[in-house]
Amino acid sequence: MNNIQFPSRRSPVMGCNGMVATSQPLATAAGLSILAAGGNAADAAVATAAALNVTEPTSTGIGGDVFALYYDARTKQVSALNGSGRAPAALSLERLQKENIKELPPFHPYTITVPGACAGWFDLIEKHGTLPMKKILAPAIDLAENGFPVTPITAHFWERGAGRQLQSALNGHELTVEGRAPKAGEIFSNKGLARTFRKIAEDGKRAYYEGEIAESIAQVIQESGGCLNTADLAAHHSTWDEPISVNYRGYRIWECPPNGQGLAALLALNLLEGFNLASLAPLSTRRLHLQIEAMRLAFADARWYVSDPAFSSIPLNELLSKAYSDERRKLINLKKATLDQKHGTPIKSHGTVYFSVVDKDGNACSFIISNYMGFGTGIVPKGWGFTLQNRGHNFNLEADHPNSLQPNKRPYHTIIPAMATREEDGSLYASYGVMGGFMQPQGHMQVACALIDDGMDPQTSLDMPRFCIEPTEDGGFASLEEGIPDKTIAALTRRGHPTRKISGWERALFGRGQVIVRERSGVLVAGSDSRADGCAMTL
């Protein structure tokens, strides 16, 4: 199984009675079982998230954060859940300066923000769900208690994590088999995680943030040299935010607002709306040049403006206006790359898994949950079976930056879910997303263009080779996936794009997406990324 080959031909999955698309078949099955039991999209989403925590701990878990978009078919309203955590009250730039820390190592205990996933699960169910948490978590508890066969791509990244965070982090061995990663096809059980899920199913989210789980989290962080404590955990709360959106060629594309980076995807789509992309072949030099340049401009703004809105004023209406995009679009040179784009100043008027669920009534949940960098810090609260995230690594350590580290502040967050509705009547068009660090807004934009500009079905839109640029001050490399023609790569290089061709296991750079489209007839059409182990399935 180590010689896995990536080329794949998948047909889109079709059905009418509910659909789940994830990166793990057993997690897809868990979500479907909740739909079959009468649950709705919210219930199935939380069941799926918990099952993914069991089957793909290399990417996600209850020690991380969550964001979700929920479409209510009755009201045609989209709501946005921000389940991300905040920095400890005792962590500040002054503290880092006293300790002579100029840059946080990626797995340092100071990168641990309060894990928001557990509260997010409960808050989603409280607002939109219909079933009790005991029933919702039952499939994941069974998988954790009795074990599951590890899938090939997960086994590969588990091995990487075992040799990286888990080997040195406190209690990291709990997520290994005597210090090594489980192999593809090997049965792995996680009784500590089963214990965690039973505890919260019985006692609610307070058991995580105020009970013995909270005490274990605080203890292991402090033993590791961090400063997050039980008071930080007890103070945590999710927020329900107003989603942000733009109209792209008759479809309203929805994202969660900052501190998430969904803003970057919307900025890029606004820029691209000024070009006739449908007249350009999807993998042509002209098409990719425009998309890459739009993303460079979008990231220039996102690097500056994406921050915790509780700490800084973000001019979202102005940034997302068509007038602003018209001005910024003038900075795109049609013939050559511009690598050093700067953020604009609009004039005021003011390690991850993604999955998608749509139920038989047309309710949809676009859901993303992550540890960051695989297993996060790799630090495990003793006996509870999950690792703690390292989201604080995305704070800026410059005092005058909007995303600067401050106590009780949320950092710039890479994980973002997306959704699309039809502008003319507000009906659900698609629940979709692409996971993978700073690839995510780039993936959202590329999938949206494939669906809307090219009329591709969900599976084809995910199978298309992708690009990924680094959101750096100097523009970074344009990484181009195997499958993009060599002549196109050469032409992009001549236009001034620093390029590199990516193949094999490195294709993880381009993320792993899931898409469910709801046709006007009520038929659901889904795709699941061939870069992952998962699938889309229907009732």
* Residues recognised as catalytic: 352
- What is the C-alpha to C-alpha distance for residues 386 and 47, in angstroms, rounded to an integer? 17
Helix (H, G, I), strand (E, B) or coil at 303: helix
According to DSSP, residue 109 is labeled G
Strand partners, 481: 502
Output the six-digit token pair for 246: 């733009």
- What is the C-alpha to C-alpha distance for residues 126 and 121, in angstroms, rounded to an integer? 9
Helix (H, G, I), strand (E, B) or coil at 397: coil
Output the six-digit token pair for 178: 């005597």
Nearest-5° angle of CA 358, CA 359, CA 365? 40
What is the number of other CB atoms lying within 10 angstroms of the CB of residue 4? 13
Output the six-digit token pair for 534: 């998962």
Residues 6+ apart with CB under 8 A from 418: 69, 253, 254, 255, 262, 265, 366, 431, 432, 433, 444, 448
Which one, of 82, 103, 57, lies nearest residue 371 by Cα?
Answer: 57
- What is the C-alpha to C-alpha distance for residues 299 and 360, in angstroms, rounded to an integer? 37
H or E element that contains 207: helix 206-209
Nearest-5° angle of CA 424, CA 320, CA 437? 105
Listing DSSP states for 439-496 in one string gives: GHHHHHHHHHHHHHTS---HHHHHHS--EEE--STT---EEEEBTB-HHHHHHHHHTT
Output the six-digit token pair for 204: 């609610």
- Tracing tokens 């214990």 back to the chain, one arrives at 195
347: amino acid identity, one letter: I
Residues 6+ apart with CB under 8 A from 385: 144, 174, 175, 190, 191, 192, 193, 194, 195, 196
Residue 438 has φ and ψ, to the nearest 5°, of -75, 0
H or E element that contains 65: strand 65-72
- What is the C-alpha to C-alpha distance for residues 89 and 330, in angstroms, rounded to an integer? 43
What is the number of other CB atoms lying within 10 angstroms of the CB of residue 520? 10
